[in-house]
Amino acid sequence: MLSYKQNPDPSGLHSRRCMNRKKDKGFEICINNINFQRKSVIGYVELTIFPTVMNLNRIKLNSKQCRIYRVRVNDLEAPFIYNDPTLEVCHHESKQRNLNYFSSAYTAAVSAVDPDAGNGELSIKVPSELWKQGDEMKVMKVYIEFSLDQPKGGLHFVVPDVDGSMAERAAHVFSFGNQNSTRFWFPCVDSYSELCTWKLEFTVDASMVAVSCGDLVETVYTHDMRKKTFHYMLPIPTAAPNISLAVGPFEILVDPYMHEVTHFCLPQLLPLLKQTMSYLHEIFEFYEEILTCRYPYSCFKTVFVDEAYVQVSSYASMSIFSTNLLHSGMIIDQTPVTRRCLAQALAQQFFGCFISRMSWSDEWVLKGISGYIYGLYLKKTFGVNEYRHWIKEELDKIVEYELKMGGVLLHPTFSGGKEKDNPTPHLHFSIRHPHTLSWEYYKMFQCKAHLVMRLIENRISMEFMLQVFNKLLSLASTASSQKYQSHMWSQMLVSTSGFLKSISNVSGKDIGPLIKQWVDQSGVVKFFGSFAFNRKRNVLELEIRQDYTSSGTQKYVGPIKVTVQELDGSFNHTLQIEENSLKHDIPCHSKSRRNKKKKIPLMNGEEVDMDLSAMDADSPLLWIRIDPDMSILRKVEFEQADFMWQYQLRFERDVVAQEEAISALEIFPTPASRLALTDILEQDQCFYKVRIQACFCLAKIANSMMSTWTGPPAMKSLFTRMFCCKSCPNIVKTNNFINFQSYFLQKTMPVAMALLRDVQNLCPKEVLNFILDLIKYNDNRKNKFSDNYYRAELIDALTNSLTPAISINNEVRTVDNLNTDVRLILEEITRFLNMEKLLPSYRNTITVSCLRAIRMLQKNGHIPSDPSLFKSYAQYGHFVDVRIAALEAVIDYTRVDRSSSELQWLLDLVQNDPVHYIRHEILSMLAKNPPFTKAADSLLCNEALVDQLWKLMNSGTCHDWRLRCDAVNLYYTLFGLTRPSCLPLPELGLVLNLKEKKAVLNPTIKSEQGPGGPEVTTTMCTVIFFDFCQFPTQEEEDIDMDTVHDSQAFIYHHLNMLERPSTPGKEPSSVEQAMLSMPGTPMPTLSKESTSSKHGDHHHHHHHHEHKKKKKKHKHKHKHKHKHESKDKDRDSHAFSNSPASGRSIRSPSLSD
Amino acid sequence: MADSVVMGSGSFNSGSRSGSSKTSTSPTENYQLARRRTLQVVVSSLLTECGFESAEKVAVETLTEMMQSYITEVGRCAKATCEHTARSTPTLSDVVVTLVEMGFNVDTLPVYAKRSQRMVITAPPVTNAPVVPKALMAGQKRTHPSYIPGHFPEFPDPHTYIKTPTFREPVSDYQVVREKAASQRRDVERALTRFMAKTGETQSLFKDDISAFPLISAKPSAIPYLSALLPSELELQSLEETDSSEQDDQTDTENNPSHIIQDDQSADKENVVLPPGGVVPTGKANEENMIDNPYLRPVKKPKVRRKK
């Protein structure tokens, strides 16, 4: 076993609590036994620690759900305590149900076990014999025996229920998790900043292969020859979260181009693996070339597993993929998707696995760089058009998210850990830890990170950018070969400041403002542009306004590029956006329309003939683009005339400009727009994604022009010309998908056509028959590609053609009153769905489309609404895509029919389904298509549901960080931040008026009590406080007051205790009893109550506050402060009849004073 | 026990016979009815003989049926026995053997036949024997060639053994071909799925008419990804049929040069990356069998000292 060690405290976070400082080491993990039958694992870990402080008497490690049998330190038995506050975030007796309360408690709980702060669930007391030794800073070896029984997180067992040995059943197990999740399967320091070298040993059945990080040194049979032990060595210092394991009866494929790369897949899938992996070497080559750096590990392994947690997860020298990424050579659509996944995984090998991060707030650098180089790969492999399209897509995504949810902050700083300084008060979760983050936010975070890297590239040039990466990598690889004592390992951790320093060293440029704008600050920019042409001055008067007040926006000051296409050519102008200047005058180069015959030069040097008859005779302007290079994270709403958009669509060569023009043309339903779009559609030199977008725009325009539309339905003649037989135009040619562009177009056009509507708002009969004919004459026999995606999209087209049924008196839907067109559609769907059982399509795409179609038929009232079909397809044992589609339908049904039993069924599935991805998807789909929201009353919204969801996020999801955040998200969507309105009023009658710094009884109660009230109240405070002070006596012995976070947890715990009605066991003072029983008396009137019933939380909070003052360490978190005030106002105005009181109090404005 | 079995099979036979006779013409029916009536009389007289004074019609009918079955069976078995000995007309001994086989004690028969109280039953009325309809004749039957004796059976109708060529101009019109292929495939698919739906469990979209659009019910499988990811045999087959040779050519020419270059590079890579103490790459890895990958190495035997 290797024992090197480490280092000066890299992150700086550690200095806070030196008492617990331990420094790891080499790490040895040995898993002796993996039992697939029982789904259990037995093993031990041994870590070598170099104490960096004197008197190391306590070692804190991360460990979740492991059963720990014994702990020995240097061969001496060591006592240990296990305390995991994240198991149950709020005490279960707590009646608190508001999300603010939960979020802060959850953040505190995660902080309390945060390894970066020197915390952990497992606290090992160093035997006193060794204290002396510790003083001399000697090495310590900690040996922990542990087992895992049916783990709910960290490791996932897939054991198909068929006959045969485990290998024949393709049973396998693999590690998974969101961010730091290694603690779920072995005790470790679960931090990205704690590096150590690894020795890993896995003993598995002889028919299985254990794949893990590092080099496979040897494989040895056990004595009985029935098992094998795989010995791995990872000499490159690696953080525990980057360690993984996969065990199963894998088929092994050594990459034919790179023999040190090995691929693993489940039995029978080897042909697919060969096909899928045939281009991996290109990705390797590409990254090594641009980074001018060899792949850092000596080997690389890819493992494809079933029931994967995410599609791609990267670990040191290996990646685990979903088996559903595998495809045969006949599949078109999946190929680029899989290639992208491989490229992502490989990019993360360099930045993410090899180079790790100092702290969570530096995560953006890793995600940014890996995303950025992945983008470069896209550009090289799929072309500039695809790349720019992708950048635009990502930009649109992040802009949409930030404008909707509020800003995404890349580099949050938490000065001194004060919760008051919450940098993102608009969010319902804390961004302090990766584990408190909503999954969607994290995805957007990654998206923004790579976009910002691109902005940096724009600023300093790609050459410098790559030099910076190369520098980071070469420093890291030099460091990685050093011994621990050299204190070099911190070079393998990237930090924001280090990264910025490299940039300024390499490029000599100051990118401070850029970083401040996009990294240290959240939000995007929202521009509104319009212009006027001043003929006299021959000047373009451009007005650019900004909206920087709405949520998720920020103000931009700085340069902006504007491109103006004039008759004489295209000209770039750089304008300065300043505080108060909205108008910019741009001189035009060309006089209007002097040389009518002349060709018009474009930006790229091309010269084209244009029909200029559409344009304004007085103006030389063809079109104007604002920020054409997307060098600001922005949304631009620009106003220009329809003919300008049409010119831009036809003649601007940038795909982003074309796409912008298409979306702008949607509001100009004119024959000219129609012509422009049709021309684009026909042009096979045009980027296919632009043409696809043009299809949908054309459908929209056609619908707006319905009354004046002439000729056959939009796109029909075009489709006929492109894809149908010359001799018989009603019959489609036999499939030949050799040209992918036209394949994608052929797939999309029917889908878009089906969106056409006639005057009765029905899909024209002609179109429907056309689609039915396409299905009928579809012939794939001569095609070397599978047509499953094409057929699936034809079903989607049928779905799109559906319109609501005309219903008389809500009659029951029967076969007899089925509309004839719908009958035809239904027949096709029935046949497709049944054929799929006999000849399943790749990824069951056809079943997925059929399920969607059936749901659409139900929703439009053509067939009776019934979730049972979907429920049967949602069962465990169907292909995951099918399950998701079925669940989506059930969720939609739940919303439309307000079915509490289906909602219950879904929530049961969230708790019990074996596949983590399904659980996650159910919650996120529920949040996207919620059965009700906080804005509207619903019968579904009841106390039981609140309790169930609360329980789910409080304790039911403790094994999966992602799932817990999903549950929080759903809770937020359904009930908002404050106490759910369906809950009965809280029971206590006490209110703290913090402005006046005194407690008063709820006025309604006081009136009954008479004049004695105020005194009693004061007494009660004291009593409870007294109670609070006797803390360590009873249940709390194991709480460690040494650390900030533990004491926070402790406080929360006590807060919860206070909330319980007076506990019989304790010696209650008479006053306390009197006080607590008071609320039991019935509340007189609800209406008065609402104005003043802010009791419970204020009260506890007050104590919390006092306690904090005493300890002078803790500050309560005050996120949502400002926002909340306004929310309260809103709330006052409506829906107050049964308003909950408590939600408001914890964020009471007065408290912030 | 044996009796009941015989009677059971007998009634089955007669049942099938009466079933087939239903299609025959009315003279045949009359003929058979007359026989049946006689049989009924026989049964009734036997009953009377046994001392019954009256019987329900159903009972008589049942006994008649049994009687008829019995007699039929006797006849059938006697015929079989006789044919077994290569004769065509049953003799008494055939009948006796049959009766013995059917568990009847033949010795009691003469005594029974000579019993005093037996009743004499009149012969059934004479009706016309049924006319056997002539088999359909098509074409001229071949006469026997000289070397076949005349008493051998005649040749069957020629259409039963001679190939009759029928020929129609194949449809070459593209539209019709496509039309036909499409509708044929659709019909096959529909018939197949309907069959599957009828023979297995189904799910329905309508509550009022479960059979309207039957969907073969969704059955979870233990390893769902296999069927979803692997191409079906049909697809593989059709892929082979389509110009696979052309495809192979393409990939071959594309891959070969780069393959060699790759190998060189990867060999270099190994040299650089692997630590000196690590595995020494086995020269140029051009030969496939020289691939050195830890996962391909043989598993080592446990060390002896590991023994307790």
Confidence of residue B188 (pLDDT cuts 50, 70, 90): very high
Cβ of B289 under 8 Å from any chain A Cβ? no
Six-digit token pair at A765?
């009969």
Please answer yes or no on whether B235 and A223 come within 8 Å at the CB atom: no
Q: Quick check: A199 pLDDT over 70?
A: yes
Q: Which helix (H) or strand (E) holds A239?
A: strand A227-239
Please answer yes or no on whether B208 and A873 come within 8 Å at the CB atom: no
Q: Which alpha helices (DSSP H) does A201-279 contain, by range?
A: 270-276
Q: Is A1079 in contact with A1059 (CB distance < 8 Å)? A: no
C-alpha dihedral over B199, B204, B210, B213, to 10 degrees?
-80
Q: Is A304 in contact with B225 (CB distance < 8 Å)? A: no
Q: Is the interface score ipTM higher than 0.95?
A: no
State the distance between the two ends of chain B, measured CA to CA, in whole angstroms.
73
Instruction: List the one residue out of A885, A833, A850 whose CA is nearest residue B214.
Output: A833
Cβ of B209 under 8 Å from any chain A Cβ? yes
Six-digit token pair at A1029?
């002070």
- Provide the strand spans (E) within chain B: 202-203, 215-216
Give how far the C-alpha of residue A917 lies from the chain's centroid of Cα atoms, to the nearest Å. 13
Q: How many residues does chain B have?
A: 308
- More confident: A515 or B263: A515
Q: Tens digit of pLDDT for each residue in A1039-1067?
A: 333 333 443 444 444 444 444 433 333 33
Find the closest chain A residue to B227 by CA distance: A840
B276 vs A219, A896, A976, B295, CA distance in Å?
Answer: 21, 67, 61, 20
Q: Is A347 in contact with A370 (CB distance < 8 Å)? A: yes
Lowest mean pLDDT among A203-212, A410-419, A904-913: A410-419
Q: How far apart are CA A93 and CA A1052, in angstroms?
A: 12
Q: How far is B299 from chain A (nearest CA, A)?
A: 5
Q: Please, which residues bridge with residue A155 across strands?
A: A175
Q: Is A842 in contact with B228 (CB distance < 8 Å)? A: yes
Counting Cβ atoms within 10 Å, is residue B275 exposed (0-12), middle (13-18) or buried (19+)? Answer: exposed
Q: Is A103 in contact with A1146 (CB distance < 8 Å)? A: no
Instruction: List the one residue out of A636, A291, A606 whose CA is nearest residue A476.
Output: A291
Give how far the C-alpha of residue A481 lies from the chain's centroid of Cα atoms, to the nearest Å. 35
What pTM does this model have?
0.75
Residues of chain A in contact with residue B234, where contact means CB-CB under 8 angstroms, are: 839
Six-digit token pair at A63?
């460990």
Instruction: List the one residue out of A416, A450, A427, A429 whose CA is nearest residue A518.
Output: A450
Mean pLDDT to the nearest integer, A837-843: 92
Q: Is A549 in contact with A539 (CB distance < 8 Å)? A: no
Q: How far apart are CA A1064 and CA A1061, in angstroms?
A: 9
Residues of chain A in contact with residue B242, where contact means CB-CB under 8 angstroms, are: 781-784
Q: Quick check: A10 pLDDT over 70?
A: no
Report the half-sphere exposure of B215 (CA within 13 A, side-chain side). Answer: 24
What residue has token string 């006796």? B96
Q: What is the pLDDT of residue A218?
A: 92
Q: How many residues does chain A have?
A: 1153
Mean pLDDT to the nearest integer, A71-79: 89
Q: How far apart are CA A82 and CA A124, in angstroms?
A: 9
Q: What is the 3-state composition of chain A as percent helix, strand, coil, each rounded to the nearest 5?
A: 45, 15, 35
Find the closest chain A residue to B308 by CA distance: A223
What is the pLDDT of chain B when averaged over all its residues?
Answer: 73
Residues of chain B in contact with residue A854, where contact means CB-CB under 8 angstroms, are: 205
Count helices and strands in chain A by DSSP H and E runs: 34, 33
Cβ of B184 under 8 Å from any chain A Cβ? no
Six-digit token pair at A581?
């200047």
Q: How far apart are CA A239 and CA A493, in angstroms?
A: 10
Find the closest chain B residue to A881 by CA distance: B228
C-alpha dihedral over A877, A882, A885, A887, to 10 degrees?
-10
Q: What is the pLDDT of residue B289?
A: 57
Q: Quick check: B111 pLDDT over 60?
A: yes
Question: Which of B221, B232, B269 has the CB atom closest to A877's CB atom?
Answer: B221
User: Which of left, alpha, beta for A684 (phi over 0: left; psi -120 to 50: alpha)?
Assistant: alpha
Six-digit token pair at A493?
């951790």
A968 vs A811, A951, A965, A1119, CA distance in Å?
Answer: 40, 11, 5, 16
Six-digit token pair at A1018?
């004061």
Q: Quick check: B166 pLDDT over 90?
A: no
- The CA R_g of chain A, rounded to the nearest whole Å, is 32
Q: How far is A749 from chain B (nearest CA, A)?
A: 22
Give how far the C-alpha of residue A313 lies from the chain's centroid of Cα atoms, to the nearest Å. 14
Q: Please, which residues bridge with residue A73 across strands?
A: A76, A142
Q: What is the pLDDT of residue A595?
A: 57
Q: What is the pLDDT of residue A939?
A: 80
Question: Which of A235, A254, A869 has the CB atom closest to B293's CB atom?
Answer: A254
Q: How far apart are CA A693 and CA A1132, in angstroms?
A: 45
Q: How far is A844 from chain B (nearest CA, A)?
A: 6
Q: What is the pLDDT of residue A155?
A: 92
Interface size A-B, in CB pairs within 8 Å, comes to 218
Q: Quick check: A382 pLDDT over 90?
A: yes
Q: How far apart are CA A84 and CA A222, in angstroms?
A: 37
Q: Tens digit of pLDDT for each residue in A850-860?
A: 999 999 999 99
A874 vs A835, A885, B224, CA distance in Å?
Answer: 19, 8, 13
Q: What is the pLDDT of residue A196?
A: 87
Q: What is the pLDDT of residue A1022?
A: 26
Please answer yes or no on whether A872 and B203 come within 8 Å at the CB atom: yes
User: What residues contact residue A487 under an 8 Å CB cut-off, 6+ apart?
Assistant: A6, A7, A8
Q: Which alpha helices (DSSP H) does A232-309 contain, by range?
A: 270-276, 280-290
Longest CA–CA span in chain A (Å) reads 101
Instruction: List the one residue out of A258, A22, A1114 whose CA is nearest residue B266.
Output: A258
Instruction: List the one residue out of A703, A617, A636, A691 whose CA is nearest residue A667.
Output: A703
What is the share, in percent, of chain A residues with pLDDT greater than 90? Answer: 53
Please answer yes or no on whether A866 and B306 come within 8 Å at the CB atom: no
Instruction: List the one residue out of A744, A641, A733, A642 whose CA is nearest residue A686.
Output: A744
Q: Which of residues 112-151 of B touch A (CB under 8 A)?
A: none
Q: Is A463 in contact with A207 (CB distance < 8 Å)? A: no
DSSP state for residue A979 in the 8-state scheme: -
Q: How far is A435 from chain B (nearest CA, A)?
A: 31
Q: How far apart are CA A818 and CA A822, in angstroms?
A: 7
Q: Quick check: B11 pLDDT over 60?
A: no
Residues of chain A in contact with residue B183, where contact means CB-CB under 8 angstroms, are: 776
Q: Is A351 in contact with A4 (CB distance < 8 Å)? A: no
User: What residues contact residue A1090 under an 8 Å CB cut-off, 6+ apart?
Assistant: A1136, A1137, A1139, A1141
Q: Which alpha helices (DSSP H) does A754-844 contain, by range?
A: 765-777, 788-800, 820-838
What residue has token string 């074309």? A658
* Helix A820-838 with B174-199: angle, nearest 10 deg: 70
What is the share, in percent, of chain B residues with pLDDT greater than 70? Answer: 67
Q: How far apart are CA A753 and CA A766, in angstroms?
A: 11
Q: Tens digit of pLDDT for each residue in A601-625?
A: 888 888 888 888 888 777 888 999 9
Q: Quick check: A1027 pLDDT over 60?
A: no
User: What residues contact residue A601 under an 8 Å CB cut-off, 6+ apart?
Assistant: A568, A569, A570, A607
Q: Is A544 in contact with A632 (CB distance < 8 Å)? A: no
Q: Which alpha helices (DSSP H) does A69-117 contain, by range?
A: 99-112
Cβ of B235 under 8 Å from any chain A Cβ? yes
Between strands A76-77 and A80-82, the pairing is unpaired
User: What residues contact residue B197 under an 8 Å CB cut-off, 6+ apart?
Assistant: A834, B214, B215, B216
Q: Tens digit of pLDDT for each residue in A784-812?
A: 899 999 999 999 999 999 999 876 666 66
C-alpha dihedral over A714, A720, A722, A724, to 10 degrees?
160
Q: How far is A316 from chain B (nearest CA, A)?
A: 16
Q: Quick check: B2 pLDDT over 80?
A: no
Q: Quick check: A861 pLDDT over 70?
A: yes
Cβ of B208 under 8 Å from any chain A Cβ? yes
* Helix A363-405 with A688-704: angle, nearest 10 deg: 10
